[in-house]
A and B are shown apart, each in its own frame.
Chain A
């Protein structure tokens, strides 16, 4: 074994969506960083669907951006279709999504990594984690070279003992055609980590020249595409349409007839798959009364004719897949380029991590991404970013950055992962956030940019623009609150011309805007600001005023919530010494080792009475420590 000549502050294993964000964050925070991957040609590869964002995921992307991550900027550069979802629903659940040019996304991200100061990139397979006195000190490569680093971040995705299934065929692979990492998870086990098994699937890809788009519904992008990143002024590239077709009774019959040959239904797969992303076999069996299922026909890029058939992921044998695809309208002659498959992989239950994503068992070691049992590029990127930030802060011996559930979806994500036992691949939904009205896409910058700036991940120029926006919003809200209309004849005429019903008493513009039927455009007609405001500012003003009542109520709840989050539990607190806790609660607490009473209260099996008792003991412990000092 020889040792590489350079030593690093942060070493990132894996260059998927988590790895890239982790490495960029650490390097941008000034740490000497190395990122290693099995294959340099698959940096930031989109292994499954060719899209970034969507419900709750769009929120994550905007939060990543506000903290100085790369994902939003990268998709803005390489997106081929941009859409706002849920525009008719409330402001909190509007989400952005973009179809990506998969290949452009990859090469663009690779270029960003390559040009990043303090960041080295290396193609290499990792066999083992190196530890000393319970601390991680680096990794051992497959070619027997050791790389030493102060902190190591693992973002290994589905590559740990990855097993691909296609009908009755199974073979070891991280993704179809790419070798898996076989030794690394044994290294985990020998360090005492618990390992679980999950599965996921991906649908077939077909050649566009063999698809009859004319008989499908066309799904264009938005007229005015909106960027993800605060730094992107405008999306200028032309957009491509997607298409929509449906399975039919014939498709379902083919699947039913061949269920026994499906890897999933024949019992070959033991890992647990996601219920929200069911295979087509699952859909047909579990929802037998549905006579059709949607198939979204999505281009994988501008310079490729590969088409992704979103909605029919499967683990059926190849011949059945051919029949299944050919039974679908518009795909009668489709030529499959890549077959659908299911993949099983090892994951490390994230209850083994602190909310910083550092492992409890081995100091200086961080886990992020699919390794922690999540699915989705956005979920992975969010964790990668936080792991990168916290590893860098650890190297600099500074306080970690932990976002709580009231601050960001990222906080909800990580808190869920480290507090609850995950039994299926974890995906973000807006319904997971109890303070959803506060955690909107539109205010991600207002929520998090300040923090991103503090850790030096937000550039001065961006920060300046952010401050201007924030000021404009504040001033406009102030103006609307203090401009009052008196119920004079002139006013009523003016109101009528703006399509607003009469007022009976002096009313502020803000009060008018709160009426359900009134929007900001009408208010502008009544009394416009001296300077024209950017659209995002107008939108922000409208949301903050219109939903003030609801948002205020949530703010009150958040205040209560914060009290429990701020009631910290010392990391060395000994639960076995605590009398009167119920046994189950005691075991769970000792396992999770929550950082706060708030986190403790979210552990399944811990009751409110246990929390009361815990608070008394923690208080006692703290006072004893104080009196010793």
Chain B
């Protein structure tokens, strides 16, 4: 049996289940548990017997902060799913604790598992029989395709541009270092050490900003922000409920029932969304309601996609026209609700104010037009690059993890520049850093680096 490295992943489906599991497999599984798990009985994870569930807390050791209250399952090799040492953290179901625990396992030395990797190991380690090979392979393929699709969706637009640009700058810096190593005799105009260090520092600063934007809370919400906007009682909460297929928001006949924003995660055709039901936008004297309206208006600017609802049984008001005006410059889908009633306002009316924007006619009463709406949303998200709003955000642990490791390695490189370490040593860290970004935007090969050298410098005796 080959001894592989230690891997970790969230083993339960995405979403808000009651319990979620972070699974770790490999020789470091138990040491990692020792590092981050504090048992209620003050017993080290190393001393816990195999095949037991143990109550305790996952703690960030640096700060002592409690990440979650968990049940820790320990299964020692070979009697585990993968035939390796396995620990499982049974956490509370929300994405916040799961992600927190997962990130701690990665910091403690695990690697994020590739799609289907636990099952692959189970097979390679002889835990699954031959007949299951096909199933294992199908699982890897389908999981990979799905996660790639999600990654591509998430990476479309600004975020990918930002990471690509960082990757490009880093590759150029590495080319500079490599050229100085491989072509010592040519008269090449290399950057001096100070300039190289500064370039690395600039890249690091941008990387920091990117990671910070990923950590400031947006990361904790899954996916793209979609705000549902419209006048009071146009059917925003009903739409939210229909999309979620559950009674999330309170729906009444009284306009202005939703006084504050309500958020709910939703997965639409593989794209994770954060659906935001907003208070109706209108003039009001109720102070609580006023705040809700203010917040709704803020979403006009910050959401990645706007769903703007209109009442097709009534004619357009000034407030409606204000929203249409906003729709013109933002990514949006226009919705005409209540087509079960006699139609007063048509798509053509909307297009007078906001030409070319997609319009979907629906009735939430008899669920007409919902599929059309979903496909229009999907289309808008995949098409074009504006879905990330103003700041590129990172929503995927894999990306976040890769960026953090890339940052760490680049930090080492800067330190080596400062200490005037030889270039071949600096290059080691630059390579690692570039490899980390490469996990997101595609690997930079030796040929790429050589290509940069040959196009940038006149080399060759």
> A: which residues have CB within 8 A of B?
49, 55-56, 85-86, 88-93, 274-278, 283, 286-287, 290, 293-294, 296, 310-311, 420, 429-432, 434, 436-437, 516, 547, 550, 553-554, 560, 563, 566-567, 579-580, 607-609, 612-613, 615-617, 619-620, 623-624
Contacts and interface: CB of A to CB of B under 8 A. Distances in A.
Given A516-B419, A580-B138, A431 B446 contact: yes
A55 B124 contact: no
Given A86-B181, A431-B181, A431-B449, A612 B186 contact: no
A579 B137 contact: yes
A116 to B, nearest CB: 33
A56 B114 contact: no
Interface in B265-317: none
Interface residues of B, number: 48
A436 B424 contact: yes
A430 B182 contact: yes
Interface stretch (B28-36, B79-87, B128-136): B128-136
A563 B4 contact: yes
B423 interface: yes
Interface in B447-461: 447, 449-450, 454, 458-461
A616 B137 contact: yes
Nearest to B131: A620
7 contacts: A85-B185, A311-B461, A431-B446, A516-B419, A553-B428, A560-B5, A616-B136
Contact of B454 (A275, A296, A550): A275
Contacts of A616: 120, 123-124, 133, 136-137, 140
A218 to B, nearest CB: 15
Interface string B168-190: 00000000001011111111000
Contact of A563 (B2, B421, B431, B460): B2
A432 B461 contact: no
A55 B183 contact: yes
Contacts of B446: 431-432, 434
Interface string B16-50: 00000000000000000000000000000000000
B184 A49 contact: no
B300 to A, nearest CB: 41
Given A89-B181, A612-B117, A616-B133, A429 B450 contact: yes
B422 interface: yes
Contacts of B114: 608-609, 612
B428 A550 contact: yes
A47 B387 CA distance: 60
Nearest to B177: A431
B157 interface: no
Contacts of B449: 431
B184 A55 contact: yes
B424 A89 contact: yes
Contacts of B5: 560
B130 A623 contact: yes
Contact of A609 (B144, B447, B458): B144
A90 B138 contact: no
Nearest to A278: B460
Nearest to B145: A609
Contacts of B3: 563
B347 interface: no
Contacts of B138: 580
B178 A431 contact: yes
Contact of B123 (A294, A432, A619, A624): A619
Contact of A294 (B186, B420, B422, B428): B186
B244 interface: no
Interface string B109-123: 000001111001001
A90 B133 contact: no
Nearest to B187: A294
A546 to B, nearest CB: 10
B107 to A, nearest CB: 17
